[in-house]
Amino acid sequence: MALDIKKIRAQFPALHQEVNGFPLIYFDNAATTQKPKMVIDSIVNYYSTVNSNIHRGVHFLSQQATSQYEKAREAIRRFINAGTSEEIIITRGATESINLVASCLSRLLFNAGDEIIISAIEHHSNIVPWQMACEQSGAILKVIPVLDSGDLDMEAYKSLLSEKTKLVAITHISNVLGTVNPVKEMISQAHSKGALVFIDGAQAVSHMKVDVQALNVDFYCFSAHKMYGPTGVGVLYGKKKILEQMPPYQGGGEMIKEVKFEKSTYNDLPFKFEGGTPNIAGGIGLEACIRFMEGLGVDHIERYESSLLRYATEKLKSVEGVRILGESKRKSGSISFLMEGIHPFDAGTILDKLGIAIRTGHHCGQPIMDRYNISGTMRASFALYNTKEEIDTFIEALDKVKKIFI
Rounded Cα distance between 73 and 85, Å, is 6
SS3 391: helix
Rounded Cα distance between 300 and 337, Å, is 27
SS3 54: coil
By C-alpha distance, which of 222, 293, 333 is closest to 36? 293
- Do 364 and 344 meet the contact criterion of CB atoms below 8 Å apart? no
Catalytic choice (134, 221, 289, 364): 364
Residue 125: CB atoms within 10 A of its CB come to 21
Q: Which residues contact 216 (CB under 8 A, 6 or more apart)?
A: 184, 187, 188, 191
The count of C-alpha atoms lying within 13 angstroms of the C-alpha of 342, restricted to the half-sphere facing its C-beta, is 27
Residue 192: CB atoms within 10 A of its CB come to 9
Residue 318: CB atoms within 10 A of its CB come to 9
Q: Is 93 left (phi over 0), alpha (psi -120 to 50) or beta?
A: left
Active site residue 134: no
SS3 104: helix
How would you class 45 by CB atoms within 10 Å of its CB: exposed for 0-12, middle for 13-18, buried for 19 or more? middle
Q: Is 305 left (phi over 0), alpha (psi -120 to 50) or beta?
A: alpha
145 upstream amide cis, omega within 30 of 0? no
Active site residues: 364
